Amino acid sequence: MKRPAFHNLIILTLLTLFLAGAGFVVISGAQFYTRMVKENDVSLNRQTVVLYFNQRLKTHDAIGRITLTTQSGIQVLVFEQDGFYTLIYEDRGHLVEQSSETPDIDRLAALPVVPLTALAFALSEHLLTVRYTDEAGEIVTLRYTLVREENPS
Amino acid sequence: MKPRQLQFFLLEFTLSLVILSVALVVALNLFAVSARQHTEALALRTLSQTLVQEAEWLRHPESDWDLRYPEALTTTTYDQKGSLSENAVYTITVMRTITGNLETATLTLIEEDTVRLTLEVIREVTP
């Protein structure tokens, strides 16, 4: 049985279309997945920063022991509770938390929380402003209300 | 190759192509669903952060609620990506009520008709 030439052409076209479609799906799927994971990481890290400061501040605000210091040019947010200190600052591209008996920076005792850069704090009577640059290069500003004078320990 | 064998080969080849094409369509559909869920998750995270920050502003002892929320019920709408928009997919409402000497602001994040998150800020009414 001999097939006409256009039958072969149709089969070849179908096969080419299928291969092109399969290649498109695999490549676009890989790109989509990579982008999704990256966006998800950035979004989760932003959420983590918001919730981390929210939880930390609510815990220590009632006690009224939140101070802002600068050590070796690094801004450090210091929480004091029962003679122990929790220090929050930026170290090597990460927001880090350090728990110690002194309010001094000890990088070896610091634990990384999330990646960020250009972390800066501004503390006023009722307001803590946190500003940082996230992994996507976007500047994020968070404002937290401090009501320690209304809720003294 | 005998004609019978060739026919069988062509039939098998065509069936394989059909099955693989269906698999491709299913894969594309999966990507579309994942993309929609991903966008929804990002928008909800962004808007929950907006809600928390708004609640922080309301908690501030010197914030003037009348200035930002002059009505008893204030509504702000957002699109599917969580950006301010007239095309409402998400809505943040702020309901202000006064009971005795306490003023309450209830912040609610609504996705279409579903309430996703509610926060309440209570403070004493300033004379």
* A104-126 confidence digits (pLDDT tens): 999 898 999 999 999 999 988 88
Interface A:B, Cβ pairs < 8 A: 63
Is residue A95 predicted with pLDDT exceeding 80? yes
Task: Give, as one character, the DSSP assignment of residue A105.
Answer: -
Residues 6+ apart with CB under 8 A from B10: A11
- Give a yes or no: residue A152 inside a domain: no
- List the domain range (segments joined by +) for residue A47: 5-145
DSSP code of residue B62 = T
Task: Tell me how many degrees the CA angle B24-B29-B35 measures, rounded to the nearest 5.
Answer: 125
Q: Write out pLDDT tens, residues B17-44.
A: 888 888 888 988 988 898 899 999 999 9
- At B6, the pLDDT band (50, 70, 90 cuts) reads confident
For residue A152, is pLDDT > 60? Answer: no
3-state secondary structure of B46: helix
Task: Identify all chain B residues contacting A126, using CB atoms and an 8 Å cutoff.
Answer: 60-62
Q: Is the sign of the CA dihedral B105, B106, B107, B110 positive or negative?
A: negative
Does A72 reside within a domain? yes
* Any domain includes A150: no
Q: Within a domain: residue A151?
A: no
Chain A residue set in contact with B, beta carbons under 8 Å:
1, 11, 14-15, 18, 21-22, 25, 28-29, 32, 36, 39-40, 43-44, 46-47, 50, 54, 126-127, 142-145, 147, 150
CB contact under 8 A, B42 and A150: no
For this complex, say whether ipTM is above 0.90: no
Instruction: With beta carbons under 8 A apart, name residues in chain A contacting B21.
Output: 18, 21
Q: How far is CA B89 from the centre of its chain?
A: 7
pLDDT in tens, B88-124: 899 999 999 988 888 899 999 999 889 999 999 998 8
As for how many domains chain A has, the answer is 1
User: CB under 8 Å to A8, separation ≥6 — which residues?
Assistant: none
